[in-house]
Structure 1
């Protein structure tokens, strides 16, 4: 009987990999960059003397946070040069992510856009404290601040996020009904059916990355959203099909034009009507929608 035992460093890293990916993704909004951060984390972890590590999970989270912060600062320049609106990279997620209310909210498109408004350090502190329940002392080590400073940053970030996060909980059945009505309306291109399911104050954010047609700014109001859709994708003359799915823990549609993937539309529902649409058309951001990405808070 041969022994193919894995070394302890690798075993520990693999055991926490999904958690570390989730931390990096929530800080960066990009699965590709999160994967790069995990590679950098592994390279540093492989050099650590495990005998000197009392809490392996905390140590790995600290490395991941520092690498994510470094990348966030370089990504800021990349975002400033981005054409049009920037949306997080959507990820196909397993049903258990949607069932975990805390996790689903934290990775939703709506929340990720709110986190984009925070400074890199504020985002790191908020994510570690509010999402992953990391202690102030551990966060202080990860972001190179004092615990007292981290508490102040956490308070400021929490106040900012609370002022902008969606407040109403919606039942899964209510969400499914609204998404199904919206799906049928998109496929038929009926303006009135679209208006019936959209809230008057609905906001559409579309991301084409300069490659696909998208609005340069958010579109606010049901009539304007319908005009934009019917004047764009709906005007191609091709056959539009929409398949329900779950991305980032929330309801979404896979939109295809003549059988070819056109984009992913994440949907926010409140009071039985759609209040938020997040349409990612940039092909470079559609690489994580074919297979499920495991996410976890633990």
Structure 2
């Protein structure tokens, strides 16, 4: 989600304030989140040198259909595929195609499944064979940014807590946080309030309340944070062509803290380098 989408809704349905959900909503999001995580497990295990992202997209679509779900991105604002596949210096919204993945690539696999009307949204980095240490380190830093951002969530806290935690860690590791894209509320709507910035911005601050659902999805670059969108209108890349990585979870604010809906049932939260 771009920051320009903050005031833009799905068919005009974006709420002025973050919706508050009860037990039914949590149950719906647990089901959607688990199936989304299971789909990512399948995609992670299928990612290898020589595999095309088009194949992974077809795999995701088939998985969704076989499990009574629907990929939220398919035809969303004209997007043509079921998943996003962002390789190396692609920051986000990479469109699957018939070009084979190469040894040493890193690729973000991003999928949102609609299950009984509820949206589960998640992404992970996958290693394509043996990857360089700098790429592996970036993925490790990005995953740690995600988890530190989530750990900052609690009732009475605010969205700035997430951004501050992510930015402090990323910059301490000599990486940068992408500003052009952000997390978002979701539930029965794909993109809703609140907007989740992954850097500290006190001028935008939403207080957390139990029952709010949203994504945390930091994009971290090895180089500078600047990005540009290619002529296809979707694919965002780093301007300096440095490597970029992203991890994403869907979470809900609870009475005591936060619940992550999209944990991998197989523990495949982070990629593993075959040579390690």
TM-score > 0.5, shorter chain as reference: no
Relative to its length, the structure with more strand (as a share) is: 2
TM-score by length of 2: 0.32
Relative to its length, the structure with more helix (as a share) is: 1
TM-score by length of 1: 0.31
Structure number with greater Rg is: 1
